[in-house]
Amino acid sequence: MRLSSAVRAVLIALTVTGGFGTAAYADAGRIRFNVLKAGFVIGGSAGSGTLLFHGRRYPFSTGGVSYGFTFGASATDFVGTVSNIRTPSDVNGSMARSARALRSSAAGAPSC
């Protein structure tokens, strides 16, 4: 069966553009936060920071408890770019998931 050149052009265009759907809209923002950690067997961490997204500042905080091989204290400042977010709450969800993953890995394995 032979396709006409117009049908062939439409099929190629749909393949290249990914069909009729629109691309998901995602944006980026700047983030800055600090985390304080301390402990002796049982440890804790707390931090706060600011997300700059679409010209507005969104404050947030982090925190957690750990148990395992913990001794000492540290303070760390983070500055970077958050990408693939649509709303400021996307960072909140990502931070919460990351914190849960870090807490669970810290409880079972030594951290680097």
The predicted structure's pLDDT at residue 68: 85
The predicted structure's pLDDT at residue 18: 55
Backbone angles phi, psi at 99, to 5 degrees: -65, -40
With a CB cutoff of 8 Å and minimum separation 6, the contacts of 67 are 41, 42, 43, 107
Distance CA 86, CA 107 (A): 32
> Is 57 inside any structural domain?
yes
- Residue 41's nearest CA partner among 21, 69, 13, 19 is 69
The predicted structure's pLDDT at residue 112: 40
Express the helix, strand and coil content of the chain in percent, nearest 5 each: 30, 50, 20
> Is 101 inside any structural domain?
yes
Model pLDDT for residues 35-53, shown as the tens digit of each residue: 999 999 899 999 999 999 9
> Is 84 inside any structural domain?
yes
The predicted structure's pLDDT at residue 111: 42
Count: domains in the chain: 1
> Is 6 inside any structural domain?
no
> Is 17 inside any structural domain?
no
The predicted structure's pLDDT at residue 10: 67
Own/partner contacts of 62-65, CB < 8 Å, gap of 24 or more, are 62/33, 62/35, 62/95, 62/99, 63/99, 64/99, 64/102, 64/103, 65/103
pTM: 0.57
> Is 51 inside any structural domain?
yes
What is the length of the chain? 112
> Is 15 inside any structural domain?
no
Residues of the domain holding 80: 24-108
> Is 13 inside any structural domain?
no
Give residue 3's pLDDT band: very low, low, confident or very high (50, 70, 90).
low
Whether the predicted pLDDT of 98 surpasses 80: no
Token reading at 1: 């069966």
